Amino acid sequence: MSMSLRQKIDAINVRIQALHADTQLALRGEREFGVEQVRALSASIQEMAPMMARAAELRTVEPELAGNSTTISLSCASCRPRWTKYGSCC
């Protein structure tokens, strides 16, 4: 895997994790989470989607990536019960 793809995955993970933290705060009523944040989260998830579709292949080629895709899956899974009320997560 090229270093640029690895860096891209890491950068997207950082954005998704930050937005996930914001959603948790918003769901507790401690922060606003509006259209701009939803769009940013959606864009990051869409950007990561092609790589997640190849996750099994990428994990075989680069085993250290397993943690990266797991982080995203866990973040989405923790939002899913709440998001079903409003739409969908990932």
Let me know if residue 23 belongs to a domain.
yes
* Span 2-16, pLDDT tens digits: 557 778 888 888 999
Q: How many domains does the chain have?
A: 1
Let me know if residue 90 belongs to a domain.
no
- pLDDT reading at 88 higher than 50: no
Let me know if residue 88 belongs to a domain.
no
Q: How confident is the model at residue 72, as a pLDDT?
A: 55
Q: Which domain holds residue 9?
A: 3-83
Let me know if residue 66 belongs to a domain.
yes
- pLDDT reading at 1 higher than 70: no
* Span 47-81, pLDDT tens digits: 988 888 887 887 787 777 666 554 555 455 555 55
| pTM reported for the whole predicted model | 0.64
For residues 48 and 79, give the distance between their C-alpha atoms in angstroms, rounded to a whole number.
17
Name the phi and psi angles at 15, rounded to 5.
-65, -45
* Span 22-33, pLDDT tens digits: 999 999 999 999
